[in-house]
Amino acid sequence: MIAGIGVDVVDLARFERALARTPALRERLFAPGERGLGAHSLAARFAAKEALIKSLGNVPGFRWIDIEIVRDADGNPSFVLSNAVADLLVSRGIATPHLSMSHDGGVAFAFVVAERTGS
């Protein structure tokens, strides 16, 4: 059963300017394993984090670095969640947040479907 969906789009040029203007954003928004990636990949990951939060609704006490996007051996993205975000998924019975993301034509895009346990 679907518990929620979320989508987000990020303007790549605007995101690159924000990173250049405020270098501390990398540490505030991204887990250590994400920080070395290029701006386009970071923009897609930021869109994925926003889409996840939208799919869950209110997530009190979360930090951006509690949400990490990783890729499996085939290149498929997924979430590694910790602290308040991980606890919220457990409390809401969400087994899997499915993720798709891309960047092209000046935008980064992400879509998340939060699936309940036993669905």
CA 68 to chain CA mean position, Å = 7
DSSP code, position 96: E
pTM of the model: 0.94
Collapsed DSSP state (helix, strand, coil) of residue 38: coil
Q: Could you report the per-residue pLDDT of 49-105, keeping only the tens digit for each?
A: 999 999 998 888 889 999 999 999 999 999 999 999 999 999 999 999 999 999 999
Domain count, the chain: 1
CATH assignment of the domain containing 57: 3.90.470.20
DSSP code, position 17: H
d(CA 113, CA 58): 16
Q: Where are the beta strands (DSSP E) in the chain?
A: 2-11, 67-71, 77-81, 94-104, 107-116
Res 30 pLDDT > 80: yes
Range of the domain at 8: 2-116
DSSP code, position 37: S
